[in-house]
Structure 1
Amino acid sequence: MYLKSLTLKGFKSFASATTLKFEPGICAVVGPNGSGKSNVVDALAWVMGEQGAKNLRGGKMEDVIFAGAGDRKPLGRAEVTLTIDNSDGALPIEYTEVSVTRRMFRDGGGEYEINGHKARLMDIQELLSDSGIGREMHVIVGQGRLSQILESRPEDRRAFIEEAAGVLKHRRRKEKAQRKLVGMQANLDRLSDLTAELGKQLKPLARQAEAARKAATIQSEVRDARLRIAGYQIHSLASSLKDAQSHHDSIAEKLEEVTEQLEEATGVQLEAEDALGKISPEAEKSQQLWFELSSLAERVSATQRIATDRAKNFSEVRYSGPDPDELAEKAARADAEYAEVEETVDILSERLESIQDNVAELEERAQRADREHLAQVRAIADRREGIVRLLTLESQQREHIVAAEAELERLREAESDIAAQARSRDAEHKDCQTQAQEARSLIEPLSQSRDAALNESRAADSRLEQLREQQSDIDKSISRLESKIETLESHRMTRNAVEQWEKLQSFYGVDRCIIPQRGIEKAIAAALGPVAEALVGETTTAELQALDIESLARHIVIAPGEDHDWRLATDLPHYASWLLDYVELAPEVSSTIVQILADVVLVDSYEHGREVVNHDPRLRAVCVDGTMWGHGWVAVGSAERSAVEIAAEIDQAEKDLEVARLQRVELAGTLNGAHQAADEARVRSAQAQAVCREQEIVVENFSRRVEAVSYEAEARKQELRRHALRVQEAQDRLSQLRLLWEETSDRLSRVEEDNSEEEPSTSERDEAAAALSHMRSMEVEARLSLRTAQDKAEHIRGRGDGLRRQAEYERQARARHDQAVARQRRKAEIASVVVQQCLVVAERVDDALARATQWKENAIAQRGVISARVSAAKDTVSALRKNANRLTEKSHAAELSLGQAQVRLEEAHEKIVEQLGIAISDLMRDYTPHEGFDIGAQRVRLKNAEKDLNALGKVNPLALEEFKALEERYEFLATQLADVEQARRDLHGVINDVDGKILQLFTDAWKDVEAEFPRVFATLFPGGEGRLVLTEPHDMLTTGIEVEARPPGKRVKRLSLLSGGEKSLTALAMLVAIFRARPSPFYVMDEVEAALDDVNLRRLIALFQELRDDSQLIVITHQKPTMDVANVLYGVTMRGDGITRVISQRMTPDVTKLPESQPAE
């Protein structure tokens, strides 16, 4: 048996599916630190059932799932599959190849599989335990495990041997038996308690059973009396149910009749509504057409007003600028004056040049005399000092002259460039001024257009505001009328009367049936008197009895009757007329109201009222203010408004409301057109303002550009003047340098030629200086005269150029003004044409609007007539529906009474069946009350029997059954108690057998491991001594194991005093001893040789080779000697993405590479 392959999916750093195919022998896993080599060991431990997160180098078990790295997102699960070659049948399963899979999800859930079938952790542990693999995982030696082995308790070291010896499954069997024994002991205690308790209950229960037998006889008599009483109750309830059924059937017949009438009235209503539905689209269409024409009329009117304003606002504005011809004449005069001044400048220039020539000659003469004198003086001194210094000075002055000439040339070039820039800026400044003047000339016509558009917009907004105020007034009127209607409706009838009379659901006020002409409402109310508050509707005596008469306000009820027109036969005066002529009556009240008002006439004054009554005492007269006369009496004053007055006010308010709503609809069309006109005017105004503002911005930009260019031109002129000064200074300096050089050269020649040392004369020099001073004064005067004349000429020339430019600009501005006037004139003409067209269109629109108004009014009138029919039909349907609802409620009440009677009968049935346990048919057959049945005697009989039953005291009716059952249960528990005690003895025997097996397996394994450890220790520590010792040799079931080690050359035996490498070798010696004593199919070593030097490493590799003969070794290593003896080499790498990758290479172990100093063993 050996590990065949290991597949990892999402486990730690193995993000992708990775399969390692193992082979028998030594499999070495190599790779750099942090590449994921130890994750292979963790995967092996995890798939074989490891439950400790710390043993897997994590904080929690979910850490084994790939957590993401680089571009790879975290995974949701980890899965490891271990495939084992079971050809030799080492595992107790009927497969030559066994695959164990463990899967864990990020939510904490997990599952196990064996060969693809679901399994439990216990199944995997039991499967691997037969091959020496248990919870301690002694076959997997991870990093740091060696130190844990030595530092662990003796009992923990014992677990390694037990696991290798296969003791764990026997120990689990023992633990299971012990848990069963503990549970069995609890059941045994419970059975003992129950048996004792039942023994105590048997005697009292026997006494209760005797009392129950006596009570059974009395109870039979009680039952007979109860049955006879129940038969009487069932018979009475059945009679009540029959009466309720008869009452319900009679009400149902009345309801069916009213329902038929309601269906007929509903049909009439539907026909009227169909007619209304047919006329409504036409009315809406007429209103929509009228609305559109009204909007169009308003838009035409607005357009006409705008066009009229444009035509009126046009006025031809004359150009107010100066005359270009006059400006041209002024420019010509300026040119003539400039020519005269220019001649003066030429004369002054010639005079200045003549004076400058004289000054130059005099300067030359004075300088020559001065130089001559100075040269003579210096020659004398130079001859005294020598000529060496003069030669040096002459050479330096010559170099200074060359440098001054170069500087002068540079300054003249710079001056030429600056002069060119200044001329360019002057030309640009003139162009900008011209463009600015042209832009300013366009502002005035644009401002006029803007003002006109703004006036149009204001006029349109004013018109719109007026229409909005009208609409607001209409809305307020509508709201006021709606509030008035609501208030009047709330006062139509007192609340307490309405609540009582609505119970009948078929009554309504008489005010709904009387429609008086406007202005005589008070007269009608006075004539009717209390009848004005009457109700209309049919009723019966039973319905009146259903009302709460005491809390109901007193009312007159009018029953519908036949319509007729009956009046007194009398002749009325011309000032009186019958009151009935001013009233419209509904058919259902016509008969009653006509009888009441048949003797009432309407008069217009108090005198006429008294005359009418005196003329015919049978008559009553009434005035429009409500004053009423009769024979011998008069009723004056005002009382509360009657229902008729309130109804008339409601009707008038509804009519006013309809008119207001129509006005609002009409105004909506006009307001819509005004909206559109105002929007168009605002758009035109905004456009004009935008164009004007753009032109102002253009003018501002040109003005800023003129200022900027002017500033730049002035700066160039100043810079040019500064350069001119620099050039003049450079020329003067060059002249001085040349004079100095000439003087030095002359001094040098004189020193060489003249050897006399007499003092020179100064008379010639003084004469030349005086003449030069006079001539320079004349030059200054000439320069001033010339400069004045030049400035005057420049000013006159600039004025002439400006006048010519202004004349040209004024010609262009006058042409643009004429063009603008022509455009305005054309616009005015177009506006006039638009006004004429608007008049024509307005006439046509008004005609169409009049026809649309007539069509709308006719359609609305037709719709009003049909609406009245619909309203009357609705009132009829409402009255019938109220009557039907009233009968429905009565039907429901009768049905409820019927149901209650039926429920009472059913409850009595259920109660009898439940309490007496007899069928109703049997009850009625055997216990139906006969003629002369005395229910009182039966109740006395029942009372006496119950009294005898109570005398017995509290009786347990189930005492007989309970006594028998309790006796049987007591016998059963006694038997069970004996069985549990026997099972407990059997479990003790099993535990003793298991202890014997564990003792045998551990003792045999201990002896073998104890014998192997010294040999392995001597191999790893040649010359050293080591042994394993039991902590409690007399108790082999619980004893621990201590390790004693003494490396060669040391006398210590305490493990804590050993070095790191010695501790590792000692732990390895113990593990290898276990491996030799009880070999396992495979072992996993994770860098166990990390702390070893080369010599100890070779010794350990020798042990690996010995183990390879019987087992498979998977070694995580960094050591090349370990790699040399491997059969297969697995390379583990990890790139920057944090994901582990594996490559493999089959090897041929080369033992010749081991050093010769390796011991033979």
Structure 2
Amino acid sequence: MFLRSLQIRGFKSFADKTVLEFAPGVSVIIGPNGSGKSNLVDAISWVLGEQGPRALRGGQMADVIFAGSPARPQLGMAEVKLVIDNSAGIIPVPMTEIEISRAIFRSGESEYRIGGQIVRLLDVQELLAESGIGRALHTIVSQGELDTILSNRPEDRRQYVEEAAGIAKHRKRKERAERKLAGLDQDLLRLQDVLAELKRQLKPLRQQAEMAKRHEELSAEADAISARLAAARLRSLLTERDRRTGGWEEGLARRKEARERLDALDEKVQGVADERARAVWALQEAEGTLRQAQEAKSGAEASLRHAVEQESVTRQALAAEATRGFRLQTLEDDAKRLEARLAEVSAELTQREVELEQAEIGFRQEQEQRRQVDEERRRISEEAAAHRAEMETLRRSLASHDRDRGRLDEQLTAVTQRRTAADAERDRLTEEIERLDAETAPLSERRSLLERERHGLADKVAELEEAFRHHGHRRDVLTARLHDIEETPGSRFLDGHRGRAIGLLGELVQAEDGWEAALAAGLGQLADAVVYLHGSDAVADAPEGDGAILAIAGGGPASFVIQGERTLLSIVAADPSARGLVCTVLKDIYLADTVQEAADKHARNPKAAFVTRDGVLVGPAVIRTTRRGDSRAAEIRRELAVVDHDLAQARAALRPKQERVEQIQREIAGLAERIEEADAGITRAAERLSRLEAELASLGKEEEILTQRLGGMDDAAAAWRDRLAQAEPITHELPELPRLAEPPIQARVAVETLRRDRSSLESRLSGVRVERESLAAQDPAALEAAVDAAGADRTAAERLLAQTEAALEEATVMRNAAAAAERAATEDEAQVNREWREASTQLERLREEYEDEDRVRGDLERRIRDAERLLREGHQREPQEAVAELSVDDTVESLEKRAELVQRRLGLLGRVNLLATGEFEVVQERHDFLARELDDVRKARRDLLEVIRRIEDEITVTFESAYRDVAAEFERLFKELFPGGEGRLIATEPGDLLNTGIEIEARPGRKRVKRISLLSGGERALTAMAFLFAIFRARPSPFYLMDEVEPALDDVNLHRFLKLLEGFASDSQVLIVTHQKRTMEVAGMMYGVSMGKDGTSKVVAQRLDEPGTPVRVGIESVIERVVVPAVVPEPDAVH
């Protein structure tokens, strides 16, 4: 694996696209100062993920973009592409070539790509980490970094080894795990606090939920009883209605019968009235016919008299022809007499005609009056029927009004009573609110004082609790670490055999502060020994030892005593049961300040052992050091003791304040309960008062509405009664018909007689005149003809008279029959009217008789409808089904008692939080959920601790292996670079390889100094190179890039460096930026960088290992091409 090519565009001084093809082995990059050589190094660092602008020699990341020159404008972006050869498969991806690119824009946007696909920086770092190239880029050594390596802290030097060993990813995993662990610790604390709060809430909520459940059950029972009570009341009402139905039906039947009879009589009254009218009309027709017959008879009689007289005259004329003269005189006298008589008759006729005309007018007036009265009677009959219907409606309305008014009176009385009671209750509640408000004022003041005190204490308690939690958390962490450290075969064995074993030896003995490591070294592996009081118990448990050491308490004094030396036993304290065993184990062990002192003392006393404070024991044939874990366990125990002491102090300081806070909280709770009770009382009273106010307003409105309705009903009833009073006289009597008018028959006959007399006189006068004239010119033949004609006229007049007499007789009979019919019709009408009045009186009596029953029935029907509506709307039950489900024992009285009992039980419950059940379920569910979450968090915390422990073990193992290899390579390389010299790497904390730093000891040949600061510049550079190349040898990387690392070396040291470099050329890729020709000579490829006139960098390449071309010739060629055209750019053109 090596770098295949580098493509640069717009990066620093490389404005144009520049491509460098690389090859394995050593390659050098040369060029004048300021030409851009180091920009190539920066480009590789940048594309591999460098994030520090200062590491790229800039102020901000955008400074890597070409800034422009007098000849070239600035660019808007910079892009670098690096192609890595992965044919060896070192990076575990299915690609033989991996292209990594990075671009940045002046807008601040940037992107990474792998194989052309946009990725994250983390993806690039993880990909490179697989090949041993970490974020620190230890394979790229820039100018001045060699001295930085030596001046760094030991912990910083460790990073180079860790990066080369690939530990960075494990560190990342550990950091992520520790962040998760810290988050879990916070979650754990929060969960514990929340669970404690939820537990505190659950008990009262459970009680409230039980009360709410009981209230719900009683309410359901009350609703069920209420529904059954409503059904029982409906059944009672239905039974009452059934019981009264017989009487109601009988009354309805009797009233129906009377009504039907009255309706029939109404029709009969109308019929007889019509019949009488027809009879009157027939009588009038018959009288007219009779009058005409009489007139015809009178005319016939006059004609007959005239014919007789004419015949007599003509006969007399014929007989008296002989006495013609005398006859003429006689005729003259007769004519005068007849004229006088005619004048008298005409005068009398005129007078009689006037009288007849007046009589006819009176007769027609009487007929018109009778017709009008008849029409009035017919109208009144029709109106009487309508009035009777109206009266029936009015009576029903009045009856309904009386019922409704009685009900409204009852409602108004009830409303008035309720309003009076509500007024009294309002006054009482107002007084109650004032009293409770006066009681709560001092309680609230006291609670405020306590609240202020509690808040002051709460801050202190919070601080102490935070300290307590911090110490507790610290103790948990220390306990977990101690458990991890002390997880030994002995501890595991002791966990299962605590009955007879008394403990681990290391736990039964303690050393003075600072001597824990010495005690651990003195005990050695016996610190993990399981101590028994009796040997038989140890023998019995031995088969299950599984690698554990079993020790038996007991022992003896030291074998010998060295005068003037302190024994290890003098600074330890042991459990009484294990004191003898401790003496046996630690006897003959003495104390020393240093290892050298211990060795010297042991040389003088070879049978004794000496141990230092740091835990190094020098004894017979052994030098024993203390495991870092042993001393670390002792340190953790000391720290645990300090933490326990801090916990005890925090607990001691916290307890009285918590007790005071609890006391205040109890007092506040008591006050709050009293205030809450008072507030609840005030709230209840206020709510009740509010309801009362609303009820009073409603009652006032209802009273006003009822009063208005009563007034309206009374007005309507008064109007109905007036109309009824006005209608009753109309319906009692019909007007009597006036007497039937008699026609003026006598006047008519008299006038007719006078008319006939006048006609007769006129005829006689005419005859006399004719006769007189005839006598004057008498012709005997004519007289005979006149006699014959007069006889014929007489015969015709007789026949006409006979006909008129027959017609008169017939008309008289018809007139008499019509008069009889009219009298009969009048009598029938009077009879029917009497029957109608009797039927109307009977119907009114029945109506009054059953009016109360109708009112009771209407009230009962209304109550039944109300009960059915209550069941449907109030209880969502069908009335028939609800009544059918009742048993015989479900009486109204028994159900009312049960309802009263349930209501009393509900009242005994007092105030109930009806939402408590849901709240309790929510809190319980949340508590259970959080409890499970707490278990999961604890398990996750244990798992994370285990993960961290495994990661630390892996880091320790990996680092230990890498450190050992790097230390060995450093010693070898140092000897190559400094013949006769000695150099080594020293772990600052060998017992803690997880966190130890690395110190460098270097002693060049012929020098005794080991301090790095006393070395020369060249020696420091070679020492740093030895450290870096030791890392490169121990944990090789794909490539190495060095920027002018050898300027401080003289020829000898440069020769040693180049020799070392040649050793890497065979199996590694090394890129070196240099000005040294000797360095150029070891390269197989040379790149020359020059700065053009336009202020941009250009690159030329030349292979130096081509056959037939001397190396020096190739070098000179490149130098000539790079150095000769180069010009010194203006200051503002230099990037």
Normalised by the size of structure 1, how large is the TM-score?
A: 0.36
Normalised by the size of structure 2, how large is the TM-score?
A: 0.37
Q: Which has the larger radius of gyration?
A: 2
